[in-house]
Structure formats: C-alpha cells, structure tokens
Amino acid sequence: MQAVILAAGEGTRMRPLTFTKPKVMLPVANKPILQHVIENLAKAEVDEVVLVVGYREETVRRYFGGEFDGIKIKYVRQSKQLGTAHALLSAEHLLEDRFIMLNGDAIVFEEDLKKIVNEESVIAVRKVSNPQDFGVVEIEDGFVKRIIEKPEKPPSNLINAGIYIFTREIVDYLRKTPLSARGEYEITDSITMAIAEGMNFKAVRIGKWIDIGYPWDMLKANEVLLSGIERDIKGEVEDGAVIKGDVVVGEGTIIMAGSYVIGPVVVGRDCRIGPNCYIRPHTSIGDNCHIGNAVEVKNSIIMSNTKIPHFNYIGDSVIGENCNFGAGTKIANLRLDESEIVVNVKGKAVRTGRKKFGAAIGDGVKTGINASINIGSLIGNEVFIGPGAVVNGFIEPNSRVY
C-alpha cells in the first residue's frame, strides 16, 4: 500500500528548534519524528511512501534517500506551504488508486495503522481532553458527518487525528477547495465538499497517538517512546558506573566510573558519559555527546554533538545540536509557586499544561560559566550567553546575552 506523508512545513510553533531543521526531523528517542512514522508504516505493510517536502528539504532527502526500512521513498516538492489540500495535490501525479495520508509530525502506531489500512475510505478519530484545539468530528452511524475546526464549544471530545484513507476521487475535491480564512487550502474543506456530495468516510477510533505541536510536546513523546525500549548495552561501562533498568548505549560510547544512569534512557554512539554524573529517566542523548563531571540530566532531549561537561543541571528541556555549556550553567524547570508554566510563543502566552518545563535551545548555543536559564526560555540557534548571565523568554538567533 502507498502512504503520502506531509513533511513540507517548518513548524513555526516549534521555534527555536526549527530554525535549522524541519519539524519532522527533530529527534525523539534518538530518531527523527518522521522516522518513527515511516517505521510504523512499514510494520503495517506499507511498501511505498511519497514524502511531500519543502522547508529545508535537503535534510529529509539526505537522511531517507530512495529507500528506508524496506520502503521505497519518493519525493514531491511543495514550493510554497499553502495548506494540506495543496500539499496532497502536489503529489497528484504519483497517487495510487487508494492510499493513506498522514502528517509527518504526529506519531501513530502499528496497531492502529493496521486497523486503518484495510478500510476503503477512513478518517481516524481520537478522544482528547482539549478538543477545542483541534478539528472536532461529528459522527452518524459510524461515518463522519462533519468536521468543525477549533470550535469554542466542542460538540464532542472526538477529534480528527489527521490520518486518512483516500481514493483518487479526492483529487477532484482538492482542485475545487477554496482558500480558507487562514489563507490556506485545507484538506478538511476538501473532505467537507466530498461528504456533501455523497462520499462516505468511516470513522475509525485510534488509541496511541502523539501530536507534537510545541517543543514541550517532544518531552511527552520522548517519555512514551522510551517506555518501550529494552536494555541494550553496546558501549563500554567502566567499573564503578551504575546502570539501572532499560538503558540503551550505542557503540563507541563509554559510561565512566561514578556515573549513575536510571532507565528508560537512550544514549547514542561515541559519547562520553561521566565520570560522576547522574542521568535520570526519560532522557535521550544523541551521538558524540559529552555529559561530564557533576552534571545531572533529567527528562530531557540532548541532540548530537552537544557538550554539557561540568557542574550543570538540565531538567525537562530540549537541547539542540552542537551546543556547549560552560561550567555551572543551569536550567530552571519549576516555578517557586509550582503553578503551570506559560511560554511566550510568537508573541503570545501559551500554556504548556506542565508544572515542569525548562528550556528549548537551538543549535550551536554556547554559554559561559554560571549562566542561568529561567523556566520556559526559548533560545535561538547560535546564541552566545555570557558568564553569569540570566536568560528569560525568547532569545532571537545569533544574539549575544551578557
């Protein structure tokens, strides 16, 4: 079966992490989000994937090539990101008579994909606690009656999960789809027209589904995915190091004496961990990283080639590639009053739903000794933070903070 994956957008809500790479290539449990999607499609016997790419597309093409995990990969370029209907129409010349379409930034799992792929025309739906943030689905006799985008008063808590089985008939409606109020050609408008003209879409409920919209959503996804790993130590563990639970350690990595690692944790290849550091559960560490003496890392994502070498604390944070933290740099992750953390995203206050969230830090950030990064900080790529500086809020790329 064929799958079409929409992977063209930047993901502006994921800034600063997407200044240097597309959202679908951000790593969770040491794999790009898109890789998790493709691997699960392979388990559901999908044998061809059409990737609709655009923003920093070379990153996607270079990583996946023409074949990945036994699946043939084809590419279509969406030169301007004008919406989901426009993205699918970009792939019109490659579409088979029946195919699955899904987003590259939301992880759906094997068991649910297997329920979907054998149906004729499907819209996957899921029960959530915040339906007002999604397209809410009304169902009649097992079929989708309509989709209401982000209603103030949702009629139900069932939402459109963005996973569809289409036939080529949908192309006629893609061509007729009008520009929405958001200035995009949206697939939900195409579906609405199709339903009005008698096309039926079966509503299939899915269970395990991870929608990644903001940087802190990566932490939840990381936690879910790490919960399924099994202990696998390929690197060296020195005498005096302690590893408890399900921990994965890549080839060429050394866990030095005095290190204390509690799973689930995954550590990539060619890393130096320790001596005398503390790695707490639900942490993923990329390739060629150094976590050094008297460093504590908790529930965080550390991307490849990053060095956190002396007397640092990293909690509930996402740290980009090629970062280097000076001795004593610490990230706060809890308000003193222990209330929900609110983050400034694109000039708007956004509730995280979390009591603990540290920072999202872009690629190439360097800090001086004893720098302090406050809760909910978003720090752009190639930022220099001077010794003793205190960072709050959103820091633009290439800034200097003293």
The SS3 call for residue 219 is helix
Residue type, 166: F
Closest CA to 253 of 270, 239, 238: 270
- Sequence-distant (6+) residues with CB within 8 A of 43 are 110, 113, 114
With contact defined as beta carbons under 8 Å apart, do 261 and 275 qualify?
no
Closest CA to 192 of 172, 207, 182, 177: 177
Cα separation, 341 vs 200, in Å, equals: 42
Tokens standing for 300? 């965080």
Cα separation, 394 vs 239, in Å, equals: 43
Q: Which of 36, 93, 290, 310 is catalytic?
A: 310
Rg over alpha carbons for the chain, rounded to the nearest Å, is 22
The SS3 call for residue 177 is coil
310 catalytic, yes or no? Answer: yes
- DSSP code of 19? G
- Sequence-distant (6+) residues with CB within 8 A of 85 are 174, 177, 184, 185, 186, 187, 189, 190
Question: What phi and psi values does residue 117 have, to the nearest 5 degrees?
Answer: -65, -20
Give the catalytic positions in this structure.
Answer: 310
